[in-house]
């Protein structure tokens, strides 16, 4: 057992308290619930140096996570994901400051979804839940299926029928019941809700339970630790459901209360694709809630989320940090992916490439200084997505035209 500093859950809109010792989905107001801790008590007891010196990736932050009992911890070889300099790419983008990619593709199941789902699955296990369900654009379902199987739980996954094939197969191979659905992720989410009574599953959708956000906030804890407990100037984050952006913002607040960091914050920049940009549209209108985006189209599947339940939390974090929301074109996403691979040897997923495209656009538009220290989140392994075929055929039996190479 670890010391458990969790005090209660709190509605993100009304502030109403909910007990921590029973499973919850949304609050009575239909909004995400946030986990709250006794940080004043923790402050005198826990030491950031001692915690950050531990191994085990995001599980090292147990004092600031809700999983108290070791038997609920599901480990698949989690690590601190590397911060990788991309100097040639940055220079080509017109950046003069240090640009680093936080490469989340190195986590189990190949994406940052491992953080949130490991925590959500661990807590579901703690509450004795046996069957989990979720809608997914691919990577979240992959993480849920792996961790659920690890703890002996059943998983049901509903994915849009154009979800990358590798994700569909990966989920099934890891033991999930996988269904391809003729619709978008929110249509898949509606099916999870509709089947709840008949199937008796627990809904692990983005922000529809309180613990995925706790897993995602470890990106903020880890980043601060890797940067020597200081903050970069800007964080570019690919934003679909936005759990990670909301989670990091929560982590920064908790760290300040613990005295680990000061008041300074990075600009939080929510990156979306032009073909699905509900948060950007709401931001540009000065609104706190985002209307559903109809006919969403983007190759960056992870940010193809037409309606985000945590919209107001994403927008609040952008506003409070003096950041913004920005949309980028498909052409600029693909150009960024190609450039980073060719110039710096780093394979980005399309969503990660969108953050690089957004940084370039933001600098060109004067939204951010060219010498800003930027962190780009590459949320998943570039290996999971279709890549252009740049190969040529060579007949070993014919005369080779070496000059044409």
For the segment 57-104, what is each residue's pLDDT rounded down to a tens digit? 999 999 999 999 999 999 999 999 999 999 999 999 999 999 999 999
Instruction: Please check whether residue 64 lies inside any domain of the structure.
Output: no
Is 218 inside any structural domain?
Answer: yes
| Phi-psi sector, 170: left (phi>0), alpha (psi -120 to 50), beta | alpha
Does residue 332 belong to any structural domain of this protein? Answer: yes
Give domain status of residue 327, yes or no.
Answer: yes
Is 394 contained in some domain? no
Spans of the chain, pLDDT less than 70: 1-2
This prediction has a pTM of 0.94
**Which residue in 61, 171, 69 sits closest to 125, CA to CA?**
69
pLDDT of residue 84: 98
**Residue 250 placed within a domain:** yes
C-alpha dihedral, 205 to 63 to 379 to 206, nearest 10°: 10
Where residue 239 sits, what CATH number does that domain have?
Answer: 3.40.50.1100
pLDDT at 172: 97
> Which string of DSSP letters, residue by residue, matches 201-235?
-EE--TTSSSSHHHHHTHHHHHHHHHTTS---SEE
Q: What sections of 28-164 are H helices per DSSP?
A: 39-43, 48-52, 87-93, 113-126, 139-150
Give the model's pLDDT for residue 4. 87
Give me the domain span that covers residue 346.
83-110+212-384
Any residues with CB less than 8 A from the CB of 383 and at least 6 apart, and which?
A: 105, 110, 347
Q: Give the per-residue pLDDT at 401.
A: 92
Q: Which of 52, 93, 124, 115 is nearest to 338 (CA)?
A: 93
How far apart CA 197 and CA 195 sit, in angstroms, is: 6
pLDDT digits (tens, 9 = 90+) for 110-147: 999 999 999 999 999 999 999 999 999 889 999 999 99
The tally of domains found in the chain comes to 1
In a domain, 285, yes or no: yes
Looking at residue 206, what is its pLDDT? 82
Domain assignment present for 246: yes
């Amino acid at each position: 057992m670890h010391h458990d500093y969790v005090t209660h859950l709190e509605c993100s809109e009304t502030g109403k308290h909910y007990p921590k010792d029973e499973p919850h989905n949304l609050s009575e107001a239909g909004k995400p619930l946030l986990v709250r801790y006794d940080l004043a008590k923790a402050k005198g007891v826990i030491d950031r140096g001692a915690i950050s010196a531990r191994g085990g990736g995001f599980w090292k932050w147990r004092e600031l996570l809700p999983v108290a009992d070791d038997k609920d911890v599901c480990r698949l070889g989690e690590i601190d994901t590397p911060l990788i300099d991309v100097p040639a790419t940055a220079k080509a983008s017109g950046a003069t400051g240090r640009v680093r990619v936080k490469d989340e593709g190195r986590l189990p199941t190949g994406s940052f979804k491992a953080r949130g789902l490991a925590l959500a699955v661990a807590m579901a296990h703690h509450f004795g839940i046996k069957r989990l369900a979720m809608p997914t654009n691919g990577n979240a379902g992959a993480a849920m299926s792996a961790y659920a199987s690890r703890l002996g739980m059943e998983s049901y996954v509903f994915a849009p029928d154009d979800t990358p094939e590798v994700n569909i197969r990966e989920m099934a191979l890891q033991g999930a019941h996988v269904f391809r659905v003729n619709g978008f992720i929110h249509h898949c989410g509606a099916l999870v809700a509709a089947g709840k009574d008949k199937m008796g599953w627990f809904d692990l959708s983005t922000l529809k339970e309180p613990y995925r956000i706790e897993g995602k906030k470890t990106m903020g804890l880890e980043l601060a630790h890797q940067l020597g407990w200081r903050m970069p100037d800007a964080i570019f984050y690919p934003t679909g459901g936005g759990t990670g952006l909301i989670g990091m913002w929560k982590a920064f607040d908790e760290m300040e209360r613990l005295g680990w960091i000061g008041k300074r914050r990075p600009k939080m920049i929510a990156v979306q694709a032009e073909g699905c940009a509900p948060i950007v549209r709401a931001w540009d209108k000065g609104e706190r809630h985002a209307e559903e985006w109809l006919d969403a189209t983007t190759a960056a599947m992870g940010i193809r989320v037409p309606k985000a339940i945590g919209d107001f939390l994403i927008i609040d974090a952008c506003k409070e940090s003096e950041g913004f929301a920005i949309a980028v074109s498909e052409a600029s996403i693909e150009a960024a992916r190609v450039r980073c691979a060719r110039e710096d040897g780093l394979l980005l997923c399309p969503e990660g490439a969108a953050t690089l495209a957004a940084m370039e656009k933001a600098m060109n538009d004067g939204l951010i200084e060219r010498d800003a220290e930027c962190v780009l989140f590459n949320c998943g392994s570039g290996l999971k997505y279709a890549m252009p075929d740049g190969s040529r055929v060579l007949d070993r039996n014919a005369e080779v035209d070496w000059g044409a190479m």
